[in-house]
Amino acid sequence: MSVQRFLGVDIGASTLKAAEFISTGNGNLTLVNFGLQPLDVNPTSDEDRSKAVTDGLKKLIAERQFKTRRAAISVSGQAVLTRFMKLPAADENKIRQMVRLEAAQNVPFPIEELVWTYQVLGGKTQTEMEVILVAIKSEIIEGMNKACEAAGLDVEIVDIAPLALYNASLYNYEMNKGCTLVVDIGARTTNLIFIQPNKVFTRSIPIAGNTISQSVVQEFEIPFVEADSLKIRQGFCGLGGAYEEPELESAAKLSKLIRNVMTRLHAEIARSINFYRQQQGGSAPRKLLLSGGASIISYTDFFFKEKMEIEVEYLNPFQNVAVEFPADEKKKEAFRQHLEEIAHSMGEVVGLGLRLATECPIEINLIPPSIQRRRQLMKKVPFFAITLAGVLLMVWSWYLYYWKVTQLLTKHLNEVTEEVQRLTEIKVQLEKAEREAGDISRKSDQLQAVVRLRYFWLEFLNDLNQRVPNMVWITQLNMQSNGKTVTFSSGPSGAAVQSGQAPIRRRSTGDPTPPPATAAGKPESNAITEFEIRGLCLNNRDSDKPYQLITEFQKQLQASPYFSSVQIVETGTPAPEDWTFAYVLKATLKTPLPY
């Protein structure tokens, strides 16, 4: 008979628990290896834990040297919506439709964003049946699955912790009489599992180990990690007023804090019991099984026995599970001791191991859609193989065809390549000739520009001279570039030269005072854009329009083909005894004159 080997991995709020089992396929289960690994996350935060889970699993697998990667995992009941419903008896298709409708009404998210499933429980009559619905957001379960796959696990089953613990409890204990309550006190939540023949009910309470640690943080003003360690090492549940308090004040204060939290937890348990009896038709518990990491706090069992007045003991999930110890005596003793220390918190991994070894009372599987699609794809692999063989044969035929065509095209390509090389050489020669022609054209343009400039000043000054009215004199003609006077460096004689300082035409015996000289230097630009015309005008003392000659001169210049605009910049104010007055015109060239 073949031996199957698999892992059960419980992903808790602050701890990873993993156990390796073997089974011969007849429903038996044997533990061969196990380990715990704290998660490197803030236990009070809802931050994404995917990386921490992956890193923790890798470390745990490396340390414990598990021999298989086939796994069933469980997620916290706090992240899963669990509903116990009573529905009319119907066939499978109608049951699924009714459960889907209930899920859409009870879950505060669109049904398309959920991974959900259900199972009909044992309490079924001809007219009514009891159904358990579980649902979780797709992104949560997908993220958890990716984290496990990143650590190398091949996930086959995704269960929820309370139902895995339920399967483990039924496997190890006889529960044919009355109601048994399993209280699983974890880090962030306490899961309650009510078990009685053909009936089950679960509930999560947000009061657990972290609640105690937070109280210790506030009371002793210490970090959370230190408070959590103090709770485990020195903490115990106070036994009340009938018992003497410890002599150490800090120990007494710590025990009271723990008892206060346990009292709140007991109140919630009592409220849940009433709900279970009234709404679910269940019975009062006759026995309580303690489980979970925080249940190990000293005197917790005495506290619940005192409060509930029923039988209380710690859950041992290995009562009916065989254990394969190491052959070495020292390793065997260490193995046994470690297992006894953590057995109370290993119920979930035993339940997960049972899911892969045998049939269980509740078989919920929240496998992500990605894995479902992958498994469906694997079933189609044989068909894909046949199709692939046909495609390969067709590809080979096309390959032969294209090989022959390629040979013919290669020959033609070689001929074309030779022609391209010949034409490329001709192209190079043409480009060289074009460059030479361009150089000649540029030199020709420069020579033509020089020739044009030779006659420009003769024609320009002649046109200007013809447009000067009688009794008006030009005394100075200044060339400007964008408003700045164009000046040139000193010539061979060493004297500074400024444009326009010689009069063009005079009709009086006196010369006007020349404008202030500008410093010799490099021209501000390479083109003359306007001329500044300075001169004198005869003062007609008998006329009421002394500036008429200047206005006439402006109009004459405006009509010149050389100027685009002419402005009167300045005119003198003649006194009655003055024979002349000065004026300044600004004439802008239509086309700037390069120099």
**Tokens at 181, concatenated:** 């309550």
Q: What's the first-to-final CA gap in the chain, in angstroms?
A: 108
On whether the CB atoms of residues 496 and 527 are closer than 8 A, the answer is: no
pLDDT in tens, the chain (595 residues): 578 999 999 998 889 999 999 998 777 899 999 999 998 877 666 667 889 999 999 999 999 999 999 999 998 888 888 888 888 888 888 888 888 888 888 777 888 888 888 888 876 666 788 889 898 888 888 888 899 999 999 999 999 999 999 999 999 998 888 899 999 999 899 999 999 988 899 999 999 999 999 999 998 888 988 888 888 888 888 776 555 666 677 788 888 899 999 999 999 999 999 999 998 888 999 999 999 988 989 899 999 999 999 999 999 999 999 999 988 888 999 999 999 999 999 999 999 999 999 999 999 999 877 777 776 777 777 777 888 888 888 888 888 888 889 988 999 999 999 999 999 999 999 999 999 999 898 888 778 777 777 788 888 899 999 999 988 999 999 999 888 888 765 544 333 344 444 333 333 333 333 333 333 334 445 788 999 999 999 887 777 788 888 899 999 999 999 999 999 998 888 887 888 889 999 999 998 887 7
Show me where the domains of the chain are located: 1-76+138-173+319-379, 175-312, 467-594
Q: Alpha-carbon distance 82 to 200, whole Å? A: 12
Report the pLDDT value the prediction gives residue 84, as an integer from 0 to 100.
87
Residue identified by tokens 């009355």 is 178
Q: Alpha-carbon distance 301 to 183, whole Å? A: 11
Report the pLDDT value the prediction gives residue 499, as an integer from 0 to 100.
46
Report the pLDDT value the prediction gives residue 281, as an integer from 0 to 100.
86
**Tokens at 585, concatenated:** 């015109």
On whether the CB atoms of residues 129 and 92 are closer than 8 A, the answer is: no
Which CATH entry fits the domain spanning 1-76+138-173+319-379: 3.30.70.890, 3.30.420.40, 3.30.43.10, 3.40.50.300?
3.30.420.40
What is the pTM (predicted TM-score) of this model?
0.64
190-196/199-205 β-pairing = antiparallel
Report the pLDDT value the prediction gives residue 513, as an integer from 0 to 100.
36
To 10 degrees, the CA torsion angle through 439, 440, 446, 452?
Answer: -160
Q: Do 1-76+138-173+319-379 and 175-312 share a fold?
A: yes
Count of C-beta atoms within a 10 Å radius of residue 549: 20
On whether the CB atoms of residues 60 and 18 are closer than 8 A, the answer is: yes
For the domain made up of 175-312, the CATH class stated in words is alpha beta
Q: Alpha-carbon distance 569 to 533, whole Å? A: 10
Count of C-beta atoms within a 10 Å radius of residue 460: 16
At 126, the amino acid letter reads Q
Give 120's strand partners. Answer: 131
